[in-house]
Amino acid sequence: MALIGRFNSLQVVKHTDFGLYLDGGAGEEILLPRRYVPKDQPSEVGDWLNVFVYLDSEDRPIATTLKPKVQVGGFASLKVLQINHIGLFLDWGLPKDLLLPHSEEKRPLQVGDYCVVHVYLDPRTRRIVATARLDRYLDKIPADYRPGQAVDLLVVEPTPLGFKAIIDGQHWGLIHKNEVFKFIRAGMREQGYIKEVRDDGKISLSLQPLGQAARDELSERILARLREDGGVLPLGDKSPPELVAKLFGVSKGSFKKAIGGLYKQDLIAIHDDRIELR
């Protein structure tokens, strides 16, 4: 059976004037409307096409070669396009908007707002719907991360301690305020790094690589910037942390460790207000 709300590889079984019919399994044929048939890829009966399957306005399975912003089982930040008594309708990149029922709202939203949601298939109606109540879909399996591991993050919301983020679509994590050295907001996707998995299961995150790998990466960026700027950079021991964060997106402490390593390699000279290539 074709999976509703996901990409499927389906075989062409019939040509019509208004599109192709694809084998959806169990005797079901799914229409790929003519406007979505790849023009640069002639499709014959027996060929296989990679399509996204969802439900049309009459709740019939239909296929498209458009790429939605999220599949069933995924998380995404989506814009509210319309609100009525049924719920909120979100832009997920397909002609039929995605429903977020009022019962699945976490906070009041207005048209134009963005909201991080999880997309699931309603087991009763088979309809694809969204929910802003994310907790029930996260932390279902024990976290198995190592410090320094690179992970994909979806920033969800600010908190008094920093920013809550979804790790690899599976776990909650927290980017503490002292780890934020660049602009971030809810809905942004970032590469992050595991800083710590605590005994209680809570996960601390960093937006920068950790340890020696972080220093090596930052050192290379500093050297590249020095070469671009004629061998002199207006950052030194006495430079304010805000300027360091603006130029390199890291803490003053990380910057000082990196330039200290470059100094020991006799690659730079360090002054109060600048560093210079040797």
Structure confidence by residue, pLDDT tens digits, 67-82: 999 999 999 999 999 9
Handedness of CA 180, 181, 185, 187 (dihedral sign): negative
Average pLDDT over residues 153-169: 97
What's the pLDDT score for residue 135? 96
The single residue listed with the structure tokens 């040797």 is 278
The token pair at 30 is: 């799914």
Instruction: Report how many helices (DSSP H) and strands (DSSP E) the chain contains, helices first.
Output: 3, 18
pLDDT at 151 over 90: yes
pLDDT category, 245, cuts 50, 70, 90?
confident
Q: Is 78 exposed, middle or buried (0-12, 13-18, 19+ CB in 10 A)?
A: buried
Contact 92, 117 (CB under 8 A): no
What's the pLDDT score for residue 182? 83
What's the pTM?
Answer: 0.81
Structure confidence by residue, pLDDT tens digits, 255-276: 888 899 999 999 999 988 899 9
pLDDT at 38 over 90: no
Kindly state the percentage of the chain with pLDDT values over 90: 71
Contact 163, 203 (CB under 8 A): no
pLDDT category, 248, cuts 50, 70, 90?
confident
More confident of the two residues 154 and 57: 154
What's the pLDDT score for residue 217? 83
Average pLDDT, the chain: 92
Average pLDDT over residues 25-46: 89
State which amino acid sits at residue 137. Answer: Y
What's the pLDDT score for residue 178? 84
pLDDT at 160 over 80: yes
